[in-house]
Amino acid sequence: MSSLSKFTFKTLAKAPAVDPIQRRRDKIIAAIEQQKLVLAAALKGEIFTIPAKVEGKAAKAIRPWWVAQDNGFYVQCRYGARALILNATNNAVFVNKLDEVAAVLAAFDAAAKAGELDKAMAAVAERKKG
């Protein structure tokens, strides 16, 4: 024990748990920020990729949250692999031009920060468990 006697010992308290609602908000806000980068690349005619987690593998392309259809673009807010229900029955916002997607992503960001998407994210998270 004499080899440890030169150190000062203290008890480390467990870090406080992060509120699951705040964790969901942080996750979706990060995903929205990533979608803004995907949009910027798409407007330049490029594909946005992130480095692979495993060394030696190809970079991973990030799928956009929008799809071109009906002479415009449908934009969804996704939590994981599922689209959130944005109002009582709809899961997408329709815009006419690709550059209008930025305003929708900004609205999603503001809604997530204000807690307006908490109920929809909780419904998706609960569905995952079952």
- For 24-41, the pLDDT digits (tens) are 999 999 999 999 999 999
- What distances in angstroms separate CA 47 from CA 33, 37, 38, 69, 81, one per listed residue? 16, 10, 7, 19, 20
**Residue 16, pLDDT above cutoff 80:** yes
- Does the pLDDT of residue 49 top 90, yes or no? yes
pLDDT value, residue 130: 54
Residue 15 has what pLDDT?
Answer: 81
| C-beta atoms surrounding 118 within 10 Å | 16
Per-residue confidence (pLDDT) for residue 91, from 0 to 100: 95
Give me the residue label for tokens 């031009």: 97
pLDDT digits (tens, 9 = 90+) for 77-88: 999 999 999 988
Which residue(s) pair with 42 in the sheet?
Answer: none
Phi, psi of 74 (to 5 degrees): -95, 125
Radius of gyration of the CA atoms of the chain, in A: 21
CA distances to 17, 67, 97, 102 from 94, rounded to whole Å, are 38, 10, 9, 12
Q: Tell me how far apart the alpha carbons of residues 78 and 100 are, in angstroms, rounded to a whole number.
A: 18
Helix then strand then coil, % of the chain, to nearest 5: 40, 15, 45
**Which pLDDT band holds residue 4 (cuts at 50, 70, 90)?**
confident
